[in-house]
Amino acid sequence: MALGTQLAELAIDIAREAGELARRRRSEGVEIAATKSALADIVTEADREVEDLIRSRLSVERPDDGFLGEESGAERGTGDVTWVVDPIDGTVNYAYGIPSYAVSIAAVIGEPTPAEWEAVAAVVFNPASGELYRATRGEGAWLGENTRLVVNSETSPAGALLATGFGYDPATHAGDLARVARVMPLARDLRRAGAASLDLAFVAAGRLDGYFERGLQPWDHAAGALLVTEAGGIVGGAGEGGTASSTLTVASGAPLFDRLLEAALDG
Protein backbone atom coordinates (compact mmCIF):
# COMPACT_ATOMS: atom_id res chain seq x y z
CA MET A 1 0.00 0.00 0.00
CA ALA A 2 1.36 3.47 -0.94
CA LEU A 3 2.62 5.60 1.96
CA GLY A 4 0.04 8.35 1.38
CA THR A 5 -2.80 5.84 1.49
CA GLN A 6 -1.46 4.25 4.69
CA LEU A 7 -1.10 7.65 6.37
CA ALA A 8 -4.55 8.78 5.23
CA GLU A 9 -6.21 5.65 6.60
CA LEU A 10 -4.49 6.13 9.96
CA ALA A 11 -5.39 9.83 10.02
CA ILE A 12 -9.06 9.04 9.32
CA ASP A 13 -9.20 6.51 12.15
CA ILE A 14 -7.53 8.88 14.63
CA ALA A 15 -9.59 11.89 13.49
CA ARG A 16 -12.82 9.99 14.07
CA GLU A 17 -11.76 8.97 17.59
CA ALA A 18 -10.50 12.48 18.38
CA GLY A 19 -13.63 14.07 16.93
CA GLU A 20 -15.89 11.88 19.04
CA LEU A 21 -13.94 12.93 22.15
CA ALA A 22 -14.31 16.61 21.19
CA ARG A 23 -18.04 16.17 20.56
CA ARG A 24 -18.53 14.37 23.88
CA ARG A 25 -16.62 17.02 25.83
CA ARG A 26 -18.66 19.74 24.11
CA SER A 27 -21.89 18.05 25.25
CA GLU A 28 -20.54 17.89 28.82
CA GLY A 29 -19.73 21.62 28.84
CA VAL A 30 -16.53 23.38 27.83
CA GLU A 31 -14.00 24.98 30.18
CA ILE A 32 -11.64 27.70 28.97
CA ALA A 33 -8.21 26.58 30.13
CA ALA A 34 -6.16 29.65 29.19
CA THR A 35 -5.66 32.49 26.76
CA LYS A 36 -2.65 32.50 24.44
CA SER A 37 -1.61 35.27 22.02
CA ALA A 38 -4.48 37.60 22.91
CA LEU A 39 -7.53 37.69 25.21
CA ALA A 40 -9.65 36.31 22.39
CA ASP A 41 -7.17 33.49 21.64
CA ILE A 42 -8.49 30.80 23.96
CA VAL A 43 -7.62 27.17 24.53
CA THR A 44 -10.06 24.77 26.16
CA GLU A 45 -9.29 21.70 28.22
CA ALA A 46 -10.76 19.74 25.31
CA ASP A 47 -8.23 21.19 22.84
CA ARG A 48 -5.44 19.88 25.06
CA GLU A 49 -7.11 16.51 25.73
CA VAL A 50 -7.88 15.91 22.04
CA GLU A 51 -4.34 16.77 20.97
CA ASP A 52 -2.97 14.45 23.66
CA LEU A 53 -5.12 11.63 22.25
CA ILE A 54 -3.95 12.27 18.68
CA ARG A 55 -0.32 12.55 19.72
CA SER A 56 -0.38 9.36 21.80
CA ARG A 57 -2.09 7.36 19.02
CA LEU A 58 0.53 8.57 16.51
CA SER A 59 3.41 7.82 18.88
CA VAL A 60 2.24 4.21 19.05
CA GLU A 61 1.41 3.74 15.38
CA ARG A 62 4.22 5.87 13.88
CA PRO A 63 6.93 6.26 16.58
CA ASP A 64 9.58 7.66 14.19
CA ASP A 65 7.41 10.48 12.83
CA GLY A 66 7.63 14.12 13.84
CA PHE A 67 4.75 16.13 15.28
CA LEU A 68 3.69 19.79 15.04
CA GLY A 69 0.59 20.56 17.08
CA GLU A 70 -1.19 23.76 18.02
CA GLU A 71 -1.25 23.04 21.74
CA SER A 72 1.83 20.90 22.45
CA GLY A 73 4.33 22.31 19.95
CA ALA A 74 6.87 20.64 17.71
CA GLU A 75 8.95 17.49 17.98
CA ARG A 76 11.22 16.37 15.15
CA GLY A 77 11.01 12.75 14.11
CA THR A 78 13.79 10.47 12.94
CA GLY A 79 12.01 9.75 9.66
CA ASP A 80 10.71 11.97 6.84
CA VAL A 81 7.06 12.25 7.98
CA THR A 82 5.69 14.97 10.27
CA TRP A 83 2.10 15.18 11.49
CA VAL A 84 0.66 18.71 11.51
CA VAL A 85 -2.34 18.83 13.84
CA ASP A 86 -5.00 21.28 14.95
CA PRO A 87 -6.99 19.25 17.47
CA ILE A 88 -10.00 21.57 17.43
CA ASP A 89 -9.84 24.14 14.64
CA GLY A 90 -12.52 26.74 15.28
CA THR A 91 -11.90 26.80 19.01
CA VAL A 92 -14.02 29.89 19.63
CA ASN A 93 -16.94 28.31 17.73
CA TYR A 94 -16.45 25.20 19.87
CA ALA A 95 -16.43 27.20 23.10
CA TYR A 96 -19.64 29.02 22.09
CA GLY A 97 -21.37 25.83 20.99
CA ILE A 98 -21.41 26.76 17.28
CA PRO A 99 -21.27 23.41 15.42
CA SER A 100 -18.54 24.56 13.02
CA TYR A 101 -15.22 23.15 14.22
CA ALA A 102 -12.94 20.38 12.99
CA VAL A 103 -10.15 17.98 13.85
CA SER A 104 -7.47 18.79 11.26
CA ILE A 105 -4.67 16.26 10.67
CA ALA A 106 -2.09 16.38 7.87
CA ALA A 107 0.92 14.16 7.17
CA VAL A 108 3.75 16.00 5.41
CA ILE A 109 7.17 14.92 4.19
CA GLY A 110 10.34 17.02 4.16
CA GLU A 111 11.14 20.03 6.29
CA PRO A 112 8.14 20.70 8.59
CA THR A 113 7.55 24.25 7.35
CA PRO A 114 4.75 25.24 4.92
CA ALA A 115 7.24 26.64 2.39
CA GLU A 116 9.16 23.37 2.23
CA TRP A 117 6.91 20.44 3.14
CA GLU A 118 4.91 18.25 0.77
CA ALA A 119 1.57 17.21 2.22
CA VAL A 120 0.78 13.59 1.35
CA ALA A 121 -2.34 12.89 3.41
CA ALA A 122 -5.02 15.06 5.00
CA VAL A 123 -8.21 14.73 7.04
CA VAL A 124 -10.59 17.47 8.18
CA PHE A 125 -13.42 16.08 10.32
CA ASN A 126 -16.35 18.09 11.72
CA PRO A 127 -17.83 15.82 14.42
CA ALA A 128 -20.85 18.11 14.83
CA SER A 129 -21.94 17.58 11.22
CA GLY A 130 -20.30 14.19 10.71
CA GLU A 131 -18.63 15.46 7.53
CA LEU A 132 -15.19 13.95 7.00
CA TYR A 133 -13.05 15.45 4.23
CA ARG A 134 -9.97 13.51 3.17
CA ALA A 135 -7.22 13.60 0.53
CA THR A 136 -4.15 11.63 -0.48
CA ARG A 137 -1.57 13.26 -2.75
CA GLY A 138 -2.19 12.26 -6.34
CA GLU A 139 -5.40 10.38 -5.51
CA GLY A 140 -7.93 13.19 -5.21
CA ALA A 141 -9.99 14.65 -2.39
CA TRP A 142 -13.23 13.20 -1.04
CA LEU A 143 -16.14 13.93 1.29
CA GLY A 144 -17.18 10.78 3.09
CA GLU A 145 -16.80 7.46 1.28
CA ASN A 146 -17.34 8.47 -2.30
CA THR A 147 -18.19 12.11 -2.97
CA ARG A 148 -15.32 13.47 -5.08
CA LEU A 149 -14.36 17.05 -4.23
CA VAL A 150 -13.92 19.45 -7.13
CA VAL A 151 -13.30 23.18 -6.77
CA ASN A 152 -15.62 25.61 -8.56
CA SER A 153 -13.80 26.90 -11.61
CA GLU A 154 -16.77 28.76 -13.07
CA THR A 155 -16.74 32.54 -12.70
CA SER A 156 -20.17 34.11 -12.13
CA PRO A 157 -21.09 37.62 -13.35
CA ALA A 158 -22.50 38.09 -9.83
CA GLY A 159 -19.00 37.68 -8.39
CA ALA A 160 -17.37 35.07 -6.17
CA LEU A 161 -18.62 33.67 -2.87
CA LEU A 162 -15.59 34.15 -0.63
CA ALA A 163 -14.67 33.39 2.98
CA THR A 164 -12.19 35.03 5.27
CA GLY A 165 -11.31 35.40 8.94
CA PHE A 166 -9.95 37.88 11.43
CA GLY A 167 -7.11 37.48 13.87
CA TYR A 168 -7.37 37.36 17.64
CA ASP A 169 -5.32 40.53 18.09
CA PRO A 170 -7.54 43.65 17.81
CA ALA A 171 -4.51 45.57 16.49
CA THR A 172 -4.71 43.50 13.28
CA HIS A 173 -8.39 44.19 12.57
CA ALA A 174 -7.94 47.49 10.70
CA GLY A 175 -5.56 45.82 8.23
CA ASP A 176 -7.89 42.83 7.87
CA LEU A 177 -10.84 45.11 7.15
CA ALA A 178 -8.76 47.04 4.60
CA ARG A 179 -8.03 43.69 2.92
CA VAL A 180 -11.74 42.89 2.81
CA ALA A 181 -12.37 46.27 1.19
CA ARG A 182 -9.77 45.51 -1.51
CA VAL A 183 -11.21 42.05 -2.18
CA MET A 184 -14.92 42.97 -2.07
CA PRO A 185 -15.12 44.10 -5.76
CA LEU A 186 -14.43 40.42 -6.67
CA ALA A 187 -17.16 39.10 -4.35
CA ARG A 188 -20.89 38.51 -4.50
CA ASP A 189 -20.74 38.02 -0.73
CA LEU A 190 -18.48 36.97 2.15
CA ARG A 191 -18.74 34.19 4.72
CA ARG A 192 -16.90 34.02 8.04
CA ALA A 193 -17.19 30.46 9.37
CA GLY A 194 -14.44 30.68 12.00
CA ALA A 195 -12.46 27.55 11.11
CA ALA A 196 -9.82 27.76 8.39
CA SER A 197 -9.74 24.00 7.81
CA LEU A 198 -13.49 23.99 7.08
CA ASP A 199 -13.20 27.10 4.89
CA LEU A 200 -10.55 25.28 2.84
CA ALA A 201 -12.68 22.11 2.76
CA PHE A 202 -15.59 24.18 1.44
CA VAL A 203 -13.40 25.62 -1.32
CA ALA A 204 -12.40 22.04 -2.22
CA ALA A 205 -16.08 21.05 -2.27
CA GLY A 206 -17.13 24.00 -4.45
CA ARG A 207 -19.26 25.41 -1.62
CA LEU A 208 -17.05 28.52 -1.68
CA ASP A 209 -15.34 30.05 -4.72
CA GLY A 210 -12.36 31.18 -2.68
CA TYR A 211 -10.87 31.89 0.74
CA PHE A 212 -8.26 34.35 2.03
CA GLU A 213 -6.95 35.05 5.51
CA ARG A 214 -3.99 36.64 7.23
CA GLY A 215 -2.62 35.19 10.45
CA LEU A 216 -3.10 31.46 9.97
CA GLN A 217 -0.76 29.01 11.66
CA PRO A 218 0.65 25.97 9.79
CA TRP A 219 -1.81 23.63 11.56
CA ASP A 220 -4.78 25.76 10.44
CA HIS A 221 -4.12 25.20 6.73
CA ALA A 222 -1.90 22.11 6.38
CA ALA A 223 -4.73 19.60 5.83
CA GLY A 224 -7.22 21.90 4.13
CA ALA A 225 -4.62 22.99 1.58
CA LEU A 226 -4.17 19.41 0.34
CA LEU A 227 -7.94 19.05 0.02
CA VAL A 228 -8.00 22.11 -2.26
CA THR A 229 -5.07 21.11 -4.47
CA GLU A 230 -6.33 17.53 -4.82
CA ALA A 231 -9.72 19.00 -5.78
CA GLY A 232 -8.05 20.90 -8.64
CA GLY A 233 -7.59 24.23 -6.89
CA ILE A 234 -4.62 26.43 -6.04
CA VAL A 235 -3.34 27.38 -2.58
CA GLY A 236 -0.75 30.09 -2.06
CA GLY A 237 -0.03 33.28 -0.22
CA ALA A 238 2.70 35.62 0.86
CA GLY A 239 5.14 32.95 1.99
CA GLU A 240 8.45 31.99 0.40
CA GLY A 241 7.84 31.17 -3.23
CA GLY A 242 4.21 32.29 -2.98
CA THR A 243 3.27 29.59 -0.46
CA ALA A 244 0.58 29.83 2.21
CA SER A 245 1.91 31.57 5.30
CA SER A 246 0.86 33.46 8.41
CA THR A 247 1.21 36.65 6.36
CA LEU A 248 -1.48 35.49 3.93
CA THR A 249 -3.18 32.29 2.79
CA VAL A 250 -5.32 32.25 -0.39
CA ALA A 251 -7.20 29.32 -1.96
CA SER A 252 -9.51 29.07 -4.99
CA GLY A 253 -10.00 27.57 -8.42
CA ALA A 254 -7.48 28.61 -11.09
CA PRO A 255 -9.58 31.32 -12.89
CA LEU A 256 -10.00 33.38 -9.70
CA PHE A 257 -6.68 32.77 -7.93
CA ASP A 258 -4.39 35.46 -9.36
CA ARG A 259 -6.98 38.24 -8.96
CA LEU A 260 -7.83 37.14 -5.42
CA LEU A 261 -4.17 36.92 -4.42
CA GLU A 262 -3.39 40.34 -5.88
CA ALA A 263 -6.31 41.98 -4.05
CA ALA A 264 -5.59 40.19 -0.77
CA LEU A 265 -1.86 40.98 -0.67
CA ASP A 266 -0.87 44.06 1.27
CA GLY A 267 0.35 46.82 -1.05
Instruction: Please give the residue ranges that form the binding site for ligand LIP (CB under 6 A).
Output: 70, 86, 89-91, 165-168, 194-196, 213, 220
State the amino acid at position 181 in one-letter form.
A
Provide the minimum distance between the beta carbon of 167 and ligand LIP in the complex, in angstroms, as a whole number.
6
- CB-nearer residue toward ligand LIP: 65 or 70: 70
Q: Is 41 exposed, middle or buried (0-12, 13-18, 19+ CB in 10 A)?
A: middle
Do the Cβ atoms of 209 and 161 come closer than 8 Å?
Answer: yes
The one-character DSSP state at 200 is H
Give Cα 173 distance to the centre of its chain.
Answer: 21
Q: Which is nearer to ligand LIP, 4 or 69 (CB)?
A: 69
Nearer of residues 11 and 42 to ligand LIP, judged by Cβ? 42
The angle formed by the CA atoms of residues 89, 265 and 222, to the nearest 5 degrees, is: 30
DSSP letter at 157 equals T
Q: How far is the CB of 225 from ligand LIP (least distance, A)?
A: 13
**Which of residues 191 and 259 has its CB atom nearest to ligand LIP in the complex?**
191
Per the CB < 8 A criterion, the answer to whether 190 and 180 are in contact is yes
Q: How far is the CB of 159 from ligand LIP (least distance, A)?
A: 22
Q: Minimum distance from CB of 135 to ligand LIP (Å)? A: 18
- Nearest-CB residue to ligand LIP? 165
